[in-house]
Amino acid sequence: MKVLLIYPKIPETFWSYKYALRFIRKRSAFPPLGLLTIAALLPDTWSVRLVDENVDMLMDDDLIGIDFAFISAMTIQRQSAMDVIDRCREMGIKTVVGGPLFSAEPDAFAHVDHRVLDEAECTLPAFLADIQGGEPKKIYRAESYPDIRLSPVPVWSLIKHHHYASLSIQYSRGCPFNCDFCNVTALFGRVPRVKSPQQVIHELDVIYRMGWRGTIFFVDDNFIGNKKALKQGLLPALIAWRKGKKGCVFLTESSIDLADDPELMTLMVQAGFDSVFIGIESPDETSLSECHKFHNQNRNLLQDIRIIHRSGLQVMGGFIVGFDNDSPSIFQRQINFIQRSGIVTAMVGLLQAPPGTRLFERLSREKRVCSDFSGDNVDGRTNIIPAMGMRRLSEGYRAMMHQLYSPRIYYQRIRTTLREIRVPKVNNPPDWQHTLAFFRAAVHLGILGKERWQYWQLLIWTMIRRPRMLPLAVTLAILGRHYRRMCEVHIQNMA
């Protein structure tokens, strides 16, 4: 059997890092980890190739002579996934789809030959058995969650890893919390399931043996969902693994209660984590209550962020405006909060209701779901009718984003972070691409950029006050170019 795995194009988004990747000559931010795991679940006798449209063009020649095209996609890839499906169907190739987009909206893809949905460890074996029997079904759904301790090592040899800015590992699935706008619990449940430390170390060994020394993203939605397993299992194993090795800095996502656990933060830093994305959502207690983000309530969130920064972990934050409880003052309050926190990477989006969430159910009942969920948190769009009115929400959002990502305000946040954060223990060893990025930044930000004044001020300030933070300062300045460009694109589209 000949199979082509296809990862559709990701549009320009906050997380695509398109305008920053140019500085380090990479083609994509993250590899298609789901498809690499699917490849490991397919029979050894099958011939399997992969085309990631974010790295290579999908040519007609790639499709000639194959038996199945396996397509995996997130919601953000909806349009490009539909284009790939149409193209395959025109060429008479059978399509098999799976992944978050298709699992959340199966009815929108009823024309696809086979929908193998939910977690592939559960549904793919049944599909493969039916192919063997000659009668594969149209749709496969899981009735339970798989034990991910049995999940195989992704087949990394299918990609050219040097095209990616970071590689990925998944340690856990599921989150113990239940924020009403989040589809993680709908997809993966509320009981975090974790891989064994040996499994993760084996995956890391494979990546390290390929020659990778750069960033590795633990793609868990809440890495600290099972703290005991981390403290007694994975983190000590990662600390031991790291001894005598170079590079391989980790980042992940977690909930804010990380700040309550100094031991956990210390272990994470020792294990090589240098940054963490946290859903902060709102400084407004009533909005936090509205979305059932109870674990963010009754806390000093600014103090929490400071504590995490001081542990050596840079905080990236997710924020939302457009809750029913939000008054027009929310925009300025979010700006004030973000500036005071020093969170440089502040992903601020309009409230959206992903299908399958409790928010989607509630707003559907209220007849307030008005379009498809875009899957892009920062495109200035929403699929719901906001309580404050769309016009007021859009205007407030536009003004807020314009301010947050203007060079003066953005560079102020970089300084706050550099002032507060502890110098990281593990550094990526400099390679020639990063050295060249430094010179490219000098030209594009320091000479040609609108931010040239802020850029040189930041570099001089960092060299005097925090010289070991210079690579981070340059990295954040480069990321700022991407974020600002994305804001300009979306603000233009909203106008």
166 is an interface residue for ligand SF4 by CB under 6 A: no
Q: In this chain, which stretch among 176-184, 195-203, 234-242, 414-422 interacts with ligand SF4, using CB under 6 A?
A: 176-184
278 is an interface residue for ligand SF4 by CB under 6 A: no
User: What's the CA gap between 186 and 188, in Å, rounded?
Assistant: 6
175 is an interface residue for ligand SF4 by CB under 6 A: yes
- Looking at residue 195, the DSSP 8-state letter turns out to be -
Output 187 or 363, the one with its CB closest to ligand SF4: 187
Cβ-based neighbours of 494, under 8 Å, separated by 6 or more: 380, 381, 394, 397, 398
Question: Least distance in Å: CB of 376 to ligand SF4?
Answer: 16
Residue of the chain from 37, 75, 168, 185 that contacts ligand SF4 (CB under 6 A): 185
* β-bridge partners, 350: 321
Question: Least distance in Å: CB of 10 to ligand SF4?
Answer: 21
Q: In this chain, which stretch among 66-74, 177-185, 368-376, 485-493 interacts with ligand SF4, using CB under 6 A?
A: 177-185
Question: Least distance in Å: CB of 90 to ligand SF4?
Answer: 38
226 is an interface residue for ligand SF4 by CB under 6 A: no
357 is an interface residue for ligand SF4 by CB under 6 A: no
Output 72 or 296, the one with its CB closest to ligand SF4: 296
Residue of the chain from 222, 282, 345, 377 that contacts ligand SF4 (CB under 6 A): 222
Residue 432, SS3 per DSSP = helix
Question: Least distance in Å: CB of 281 to ligand SF4?
Answer: 8
- Looking at residue 162, the DSSP 8-state letter turns out to be G
Torsion sign (Cα): 97, 101, 102, 103: positive
How many Å separate Cα 387 from the centre of its chain? 28
Output 95 or 183, the one with its CB closest to ligand SF4: 183
Q: Between 33-41 and 120-133, two packed helices, what is the crossing angle to 10 degrees?
A: 40
C-beta neighbour count of 240 within 10 angstroms: 11
Question: Least distance in Å: CB of 190 to ligand SF4?
Answer: 8
Residue of the chain from 279, 322, 449, 480 that contacts ligand SF4 (CB under 6 A): 279
221 is an interface residue for ligand SF4 by CB under 6 A: yes
Determine contact, residues 484/346, Cβ cutoff 8 Å: no
**Nearest in space to 193 (alpha carbons), one of 203, 185, 201:** 185
User: What's the CA gap between 61 and 57, in Å, rounded?
Assistant: 11
E strand or H helix at 336, and its extent?
A: helix 330-341
Question: Least distance in Å: CB of 17 to ligand SF4?
Answer: 21
Question: Least distance in Å: CB of 319 to ligand SF4?
Answer: 12
Q: In this chain, which stretch among 132-140, 171-179, 235-243, 341-349 interacts with ligand SF4, using CB under 6 A?
A: 171-179
Residue of the chain from 23, 109, 164, 177 that contacts ligand SF4 (CB under 6 A): 177
182 is an interface residue for ligand SF4 by CB under 6 A: yes
Residue of the chain from 184, 249, 316, 346 that contacts ligand SF4 (CB under 6 A): 184
304 is an interface residue for ligand SF4 by CB under 6 A: no
How many residues are present in the chain?
495
What residue ranges in 105-198 does DSSP mark as E strands?
A: 114-116, 139-140, 166-169, 172-173, 193-194
How many residues bind to ligand SF4 according to rule CB under 6 A?
11
Residue of the chain from 50, 179, 268, 271 that contacts ligand SF4 (CB under 6 A): 179
Question: Least distance in Å: CB of 357 to ligand SF4?
Answer: 9
Hey, what amino acid is at 141? R
Could you give the strand order of the β-sheet that contains 166-169, starting from the edge strand earlier in sequence?
166-169, 215-218, 250-254, 273-281, 314-321, 346-350
**What string of DSSP letters covers 337-388?**
HHHHHT-SSEEEEE----TTSHHHHHHHHTT-B-S-----TTSS--SB--TT
Output 119 or 221, the one with its CB closest to ligand SF4: 221
Output 130 or 180, the one with its CB closest to ligand SF4: 180
* β-bridge partners, 3: 48, 68
320 is an interface residue for ligand SF4 by CB under 6 A: no
394 is an interface residue for ligand SF4 by CB under 6 A: no
23 is an interface residue for ligand SF4 by CB under 6 A: no
Q: Which two tokens stand for residue 98?
A: 């799976």
Output 358 or 392, the one with its CB closest to ligand SF4: 358
Please, what's the b/e burial string for 317-326 (b: 16 or more CB within 10 A of its CB; e: otherwise)? bbbbbbbbbb
Question: Least distance in Å: CB of 175 to ligand SF4?
Answer: 3
Question: Please, what is the end-to-end C-alpha distance for the chain in angstroms?
Answer: 50
Question: Least distance in Å: CB of 179 to ligand SF4?
Answer: 3
User: What's the CA gap between 302 and 305, in Å, rounded?
Assistant: 5
Output 118 or 281, the one with its CB closest to ligand SF4: 281
Place of tokens 């199979």: 3
255 is an interface residue for ligand SF4 by CB under 6 A: yes
Determine contact, residues 37/156, Cβ cutoff 8 Å: no
Q: In this chain, which stretch among 82-90, 136-144, 180-188, 367-375 interacts with ligand SF4, using CB under 6 A?
A: 180-188
Determine contact, residues 198/150, Cβ cutoff 8 Å: no
Output 279 or 449, the one with its CB closest to ligand SF4: 279
Q: Which residues bind ligand SF4 (CB under 6 A)?
A: 175, 177-179, 182, 184-185, 221-222, 255, 279
